Structure 1
Amino acid sequence: MRRGAICAAGLLVALLLPAPAPAREAEPRRAPEPNTLVPAGAVRYAPSGFPDRIVATPAEDPSSGFAVAWRTGATVDTPWLEIVEAGDSPDMGAPRRIRATTRALTTENGAAHHHRADVAGLEADTLYAWRVQGGGTWSPWRQLRTAAAADAPLTLLYFGDTQNKNASLTTRVSLEALRHAPDARLALYAGDLVSGGDGEDDDEWGEWFDATAALRSLLMVAPAAGNHEHFEQFEDTPRERRVLGAHWPATFALPGNGAPGAEQTTWWFDFQDVRVVVLDGTSALDMGTARAQAAWLDGVLAGAASRWTIALIHQPMFSPRQDRDNALLREHLLPVLERRRVDLVLQGHDHVYGRRGGLRAGQATPQYVVSVAGAKQYRLSDAARDTMAPVAEDTQLFQVLRIDGDALHYEARTATGRLYDAFSLHRAAGGARRIEEHTGDRIGQRDCPRAATLKGRTDRCWE
């Protein structure tokens, strides 16, 4: 064949063959996200004359009062809180004034003053407008409704650990929770609100307040202290000991009705027909207060006239995470929770989801729940997969509780609002409980799809 013919034949073959597929662009390598959105060297959360970090917590009787904590710069001493019954006119009348107390706290963001005002003598189920003072400034007016009568319906929210990347990734969980429960009156947090111990503790608290801004503008907040709200004093010395971090008592205005030795982190209150008891698992495990907390818990539960009881604690009675076991809590606190038939034990710490019933087969209460709202995600243990249902990895969650008379309805939803777990507790004559599972609309079990985190850790799913 002549050379020209050969070239023509080759061209024909080339035209008939399929074109080669374009080379696939490699997926860009993702870098781990920093724990805060504050760049190194930037000052984002310096205190000033403007009041910030405003949070209302329940009094022992939230139908007649609540307490408020807030922060300013160090030049502001004993400012005022103003409160008035909310009205439709901008002229709501002359507000009542309450003088705050002040304590100092110096952090990497500078010297601050934290203030506390206790509001009492309010009417039940009444909407109040209130604001707090700074240095020649005031916060915007906020509105908060006091607890109603015991037999009125109640909606509340529960969040597991927020802890990491709060502004970046906890914010969406807070907003989705409000979308699903716009009538909520109370938000419970199961500890480890921040991570801490990394030189940017105050930035982390600033981001927690940013992430919860919408909730805090409308609801009372009830937090439990986690291990990350404590720190190791005199670390790596013979004097090493666990102590409560300085932010906690300055940040929240709690009732002070707690267990001996853990007065700043244990407390209780009655919100309508629910007695909520807040425990400190870190203090029980590491600071020698387990026995005292158990005796206090027994007394608080024995004195409850409410139909429903909820215990809030950071470390779980039954840990769903690999290589964790809180035996001391089961030795001292678990017998009280079981004997007093607490309805819900709401927990965090393990950064997965898991639910199980009490010690006896077929027992409706307590229901022990572990959940996580934040970005850090661990892996489930084999034991959790055998003893808990449902369980989840790699999932940010919030929980909605609706209480109406003799029924308590529970929902766990993902950060996008999808239903993951649901059940109801029903109270029969004599106080006996019956559980009803709701499985129809739940999505399927979520397991971690990654062999390692972006940092290469195989013991976690995400960080």
Structure 2
Amino acid sequence: MSRVPAALTALTMALLLCSGSALAKKDAETGAEPNTQVPAGSRHYAATGFPDRLVASPAQDAARGFSVAWRTDTSVKAPVLEWVLAGDSPDVGTPTRITATTQALTTELGASHHHRADITGLQPDTLYLWRVQGQNTWSAWNQLRTAGRADQPLTLLYFGDTQNKNLSHVSRVMRAGIKAAPDARLSLFAGDLVSGGDGQDDSEWGEWFAAAGWLPQETAVAPAIGNHEYFEEFEDTPQERRVLGRHWPVTFALPRNGVDAADTSTYWFDYQGVRIAVLDGTSALDLGTAKAQAAWLDTVLADNPHPWSIVLLHQPFYSPREGRENTELRDVLLPVVRRHQVDLVLQGHDHTYGRRGEGQGATPQFVVTVAGPKQYRLSDEARATMAPVGEDTQLFQVLKIDPSHLRYEARTVTGRLYDGFELTRGTDGRKQKTELTQGRIAPRDCTRAQTLKGRADRCWE
């Protein structure tokens, strides 16, 4: 085998580390906080024989199964996951064992193995214990409850873009969400979980998991993919193209039921009376898959047996930021959303807050939100067409759903109610919207003229 690729890889890693060091130096000079808390050259988040980055995700039928992804170093080649019915004794009994599939990944922190195990045949609304294997060691036992029946009430959490300074700033948003909704079984994310492209991609993912704490093990995590989970290959050349980042396919164990044109980044699942379809906006806009995704989404929503539907994607149909128009999403995918009267469209990307309905009906409701510290500014159009809107505010969302009601609350990181509404479903299937105004704080605007780095188009880096 040729040694040239290895040499090029080493050179690339060295250049990326230098780039990361230069960015950290620039941040220090401007007084801006660096993107990660990892000192230049640190291998703090390198893989070891101990399992880490554990994350559970829902199966297509989340009442009957879930899947788990985790990471180790390359000494672990075919680890197992153990699961068992949860009980009150430390004697867990005899667990069922599942041998994981494994994929290799090499990053600036070295080589690692990423593992996946799919757990099937479970009972609805049942608490299970599970743990994963490393090199002569195990993870903690984790508890996860499967989805219940379609008529049972559900609480879920939703987070907009995390992306930057995950350990420093995003961790408190996730903690606030867990405290506000301790009964949440499901956590949705808008994409751009990390920033990427600065030579510290693996450390950024390490900090995302550090920020999330126990949330990825004890709720089922379902993320959309963002543009920052892609990277630009051959940048600034005629051959420049958008390429799926290497972390995405191995970091999460998502349902394998997406559209062929974006099979690792689109998927759907049912969770207690809600059908949730996850789209890939970057692939639709930049890789020509909008029509394929629209046809797939049409099929997914056409046979929805549940009273509610949610579409999750990164780029918004209606952008609250100046200068962004995702025209192809509106032209190709939005008609499907309208035709099937999707209840809630959850989006990110624009690092502000904005909500709007469409037409005279109660649905769809379109939400753009942000969890991380990077904060943009609202456009004049957003202020005229969305309400409420917001700048300079880190948020999380709590949804409470039963067969007749969908209650949506957006709360600031300190727990204050920023936005809220409730959809009520009548016996004829029609839906009405009621605004939740009691206790809601006034919309927030950015009062800074520019960021610490001198950018007037943003409120905070």
Q: TM-score, normalised by structure 1?
A: 0.93
Residue matched to 1:19: none
**Cα distance in 1 between the residues matched to 2:285 and 2:213:** 32
Question: What residue is the counterpart of 1:264 in the other structure?
Answer: 264
What is the CA–CA distance in structure 1 between the aligned matches of 2:459 and 2:60, rounded to whole Å? 39
- How far the C-alpha of 1:31 sits from its partner, in A, is 1.1
* Residue equivalent to 1:174: 174
Q: Whose radius of gyration is greater, 1 or 2? A: 1
1:189 aligned onto 2:189: yes
- Give the match for residue 389 of structure 1: 387
* 1:403 match: 401
**Superposition map of 1:91-102 within 5 A:** 91-102=91-102
2:128 aligned residue: 128
Q: Which residue is 1:427 aligned to?
A: 425
Q: Which amino acid aligns with 1:47?
A: A
The reply to whether residue 446 of structure 1 matches residue 444 of structure 2 is: yes
Residue type matched to 1:262 in 2? Answer: A
Mapped partners of 1:42, 1:198: distance in 2: 14
Match of 2:215 in 1: 215
Q: How does 1:50-449 map to 2 (within 5 A)?
A: 50-358=50-358, 360=359, 362-449=360-447
One-letter code aligned to 1:88: D
> Partners of 1:189 and 1:309 in 2: how far apart?
16
Write the distance in 1 (CA, Å) between the matches of 2:298 and 2:128.
Answer: 35
Pairs aligned (count): 433
Per-residue deviation, 1:30? 7.7
- Is contact 2:30–2:453 with CA below 8 Å preserved after alignment? no
Distance 1:344 1:257 in 2: 21
Aligned residue identity for 1:152: Q
Q: CA deviation at 1:35?
A: 0.1
User: C-alpha deviations, 1:46-79, integer Å up to 9, x for none?
Assistant: 1000000000010000111001000000111010
Deviations along 1:304-353, whole A, 9 cap, x unmatched?
A: 10110000000000000011000000000110101110000000000000
Write the distance in 1 (CA, Å) between the matches of 2:117 and 2:191: 23
Q: State the secondary structure of the residue aligned to 2:218.
A: coil
Q: Deviations over 1:191-236 (max 9, x none)?
A: 0000000000001000011111131131000000000001111222
Which amino acid is the alignment partner of residue 285 of structure 2? L
SS in 2 for 1:217: helix
Q: Is the CA contact 1:174–1:214 (under 8 Å) kept in the aligned structure 2?
A: no
Give the AA of the match of 2:266. Answer: T
User: Which residue identity lines up with residue 44 of structure 1 in the other structure?
Assistant: H
* Change in CA separation of 1:30 and 1:196 when aligned onto 2, cut-off 3 Å: closer
Q: Which residue of structure 1 aligns with residue 18 of structure 2?
A: none
Instruction: For residues 365-396 of structure 1, give each alpha carbon's deviation from its aligned partner in whole angstroms, at most 9, with x where no partner exists.
Output: 00000000001000000000000000000000
- 4+ residue runs over 2 A deviation: 236-239
**Residues 254-306 of structure 1: CA distance to partner in whole angstroms, max 9, x if unpaired?**
11100120011000000010000000000000001000000100110001101
Given candidates 449, 456, 460, the residue that maps to 2:458 is: 460
Counterpart CA distance in 1 for 2:286 and 2:107 is 25
Matches within 5 A, 1:18-37: 31-37=31-37
Question: Which residue of structure 2 lines up, in the alignment, with residue 14 of structure 1?
Answer: none
2:75 partner SS: coil
For 2:290 and 2:30, the matched residues in 1 are separated by: 44
Q: How far, CA to CA, are the matches of 2:71 and 2:420 in structure 1?
A: 38
Preserved CA contact (<8 Å) 1:322 1:379: yes
Alpha-carbon separation, structure 1, partners of 2:390 and 2:139: 40
Q: CA deviation at 1:430?
A: 2.2
2:69 and 2:155 map into 1 onto residues whose CA distance is 23
Contact residue 66 and residue 119 of structure 1 kept, 8 A: yes
Secondary structure of the equivalent of 1:261?
Answer: helix
Q: What is the DSSP-based 3-state SS (H/G/I as helix, E as strand, rest coil) of the residue aligned with 1:429?
A: coil
Contact 1:63 1:271 in 2 (8 A): yes
One-letter code of the match for 1:386? Answer: A
Deviation at 1:239, TM superposition (A): 2.2
Question: 2:255 and 2:159 mapped to 1: Cα distance?
Answer: 21
Q: In structure 2, list runs of 5 or more residues that go unmatched.
A: 1-28
Q: Give yes or no for contact 2:142–2:218 (8 Å, CA) kept in 1.
A: yes
The answer to whether the 8 A contact 2:102-2:116 is kept is: yes
The AA in structure 2 aligned to 1:61 is D
Q: Name the SS of the counterpart of 1:283 in structure 2.
A: helix
Identity fraction in percent = 66
Query: What per-residue deviation string (whole Å, max 9, x for no partner) do you get for residues 22-43 of structure 1?
Result: xxxxxxx981000000011221
Partner Cα separation in structure 2 for residue 80 and residue 214 of structure 1: 20
For residues 70 and 118 of structure 1, the distance between their equivalents in structure 2, rounded to whole angstroms, comes to 12
Stretch deviating more after TM superposition (312-321 or 40-49): 40-49
